[in-house]
């Protein structure tokens, strides 16, 4: 006895050769570890972000508040100047402005439609630290101004590396660029070496983007098999041309379908996945919904799988003949509820300039490239 207490000595130490004591000790040890594991899981499940408990949208700013206010939820230079002056006079910023988060704009396929890209920036504002963008692949091919689109997007990526994001699409690949025009366009405007450089850069583009641990964005869609986790996605070797099957291929090529299960893709590669596949993936990875692109939609976007699979497409009047609208999405607030914004094609600019551009390309003997579009 030490200090009025008996020391805790396992029976197996006192009777090391007692098989029954040893077996019971092992069983007891398993139970203790299991209980500890269950407590750890329970504590993780209870750890919710403070953001989840906020109802920012329903917070009201009182009429007598005279301080700085966000402009459509965004921090601007004027807001920051007003804020510094407001703090200098020892005033308090309204709690709604203190809580409120900036939004991000997600755009889908642009496919070389440069004047429609400019229209997006006209409607939604230029990219900036306070106006971040995510472009979800297929920047090039089919449209006549793919070089202009991709150089503009790369420029903004260099200008705002933490607030301007580009994901790889199935058209940021060599075989698609050979068939649908980008390689020929680059060679006509620059050199074959320039195309090789684009090809190398495309291989480093990320395949997915996870926003606030709630929304996963990819160009194509989900997987041909269940069980893929976010850690599995992070481990994909993306610095290559995509294989004909597997998770990398699926992220670039798959499409949703209305019925449960999976089916053979109409594209001849990857698969089509149903609402049950989406539900299982989201549940396993603790996500709310996915955003993808890859398919032209009449309204520019489509919400399927009970709101858990969203498609956004940002090339209006696709290929100068589909007549579809384009769209982009705003995600803001604690719940990241999507807000859809539609727009129509810049018809006069695209059509007239495209015709002039085709005439110039024909002088390079690139009629085959145009017909493939």
Q: What pairing do the DSSP bridges indicate for beta strands 164-166 and 133-135? A: parallel
* Gap between the Cα atoms of 108 and 192, Å rounded: 28
121 with 94: CB under 8 angstroms? Answer: no
Active site residue 171: yes
Query: What's the order of all strands across the beta sheet hosting 208-211?
Result: 208-211, 215-218, 289-292, 309-312, 301-304
Distances from the Cα of 137 to the Cα of 82, 85, 150, 182, 219, angstroms: 38, 42, 11, 14, 6
Catalytic residue among 94, 165, 171, 219: 171
* Gap between the Cα atoms of 59 and 241, Å rounded: 49
Q: Which two tokens stand for residue 67?
A: 């301080």
Q: What is the largest CA-CA distance in the chain?
A: 100
* Gap between the Cα atoms of 60 and 29, Å rounded: 55
* Gap between the Cα atoms of 274 and 118, Å rounded: 35
Distances from the Cα of 118 to the Cα of 33, 102, 127, 153, 325, angstroms: 59, 22, 11, 11, 15
* Gap between the Cα atoms of 299 and 84, Å rounded: 43
Q: Just list the catalytic residues.
A: 171
């Amino acid at each position: 006895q030490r200090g009025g207490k008996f020391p805790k000595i396992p029976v197996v130490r006192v009777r090391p050769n007692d098989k029954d004591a040893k077996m019971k000790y092992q069983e007891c040890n398993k139970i203790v570890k299991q209980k500890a594991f269950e407590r750890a899981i329970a504590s993780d499940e209870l750890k919710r972000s403070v953001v989840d408990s906020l109802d920012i949208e329903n917070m009201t700013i009182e009429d007598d508040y005279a301080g700085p206010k966000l402009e459509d939820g965004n921090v601007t230079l004027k807001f920051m100047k007003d804020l510094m002056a407001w703090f200098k006079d020892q005033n308090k910023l309204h709690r709604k402005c203190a809580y409120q988060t900036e939004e991000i704009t997600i755009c889908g396929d642009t496919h070389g439609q440069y004047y429609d890209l400019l229209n997006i920036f006209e409607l939604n504002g230029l990219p900036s630290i306070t106006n971040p963008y995510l472009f979800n692949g297929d920047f090039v091919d089919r449209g006549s101004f793919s070089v202009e689109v991709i150089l503009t997007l790369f420029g903004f990526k260099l200008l705002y590396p933490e607030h301007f994001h580009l994901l790889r699409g199935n058209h940021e690949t060599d075989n698609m660029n050979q068939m649908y025009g980008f390689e020929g366009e680059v060679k006509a405007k620059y050199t074959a070496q320039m195309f090789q450089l684009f090809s190398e850069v495309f291989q480093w583009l990320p395949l997915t983007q996870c926003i606030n641990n709630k929304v996963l964005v990819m160009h194509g869609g989900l997987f041909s098999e269940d069980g893929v986790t976010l850690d599995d996605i992070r481990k994909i070797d993306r610095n290559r041309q995509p294989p004909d099957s597997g998770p990398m291929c699926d992220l670039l090529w798959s499409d949703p379908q209305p019925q449960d299960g999976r089916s053979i893709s109409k594209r001849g590669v990857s698969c089509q996945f149903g609402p049950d596949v989406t539900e299982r993936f989201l549940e396993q990875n603790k996500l709310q919904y996915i955003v993808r692109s890859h398919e032209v939609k009449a309204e520019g976007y489509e919400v399927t799988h009970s709101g858990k699979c969203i498609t956004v497409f940002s090339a209006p009047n696709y290929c100068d003949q589909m007549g579809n609208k384009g769209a982009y999405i705003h995600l803001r607030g604690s719940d990241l509820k999507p807000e859809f914004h539609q727009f129509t094609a810049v018809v006069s600019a695209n059509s007239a300039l495209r015709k002039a551009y085709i005439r110039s390309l024909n002088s390079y003997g690139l009629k085959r490239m145009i017909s493939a579009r």
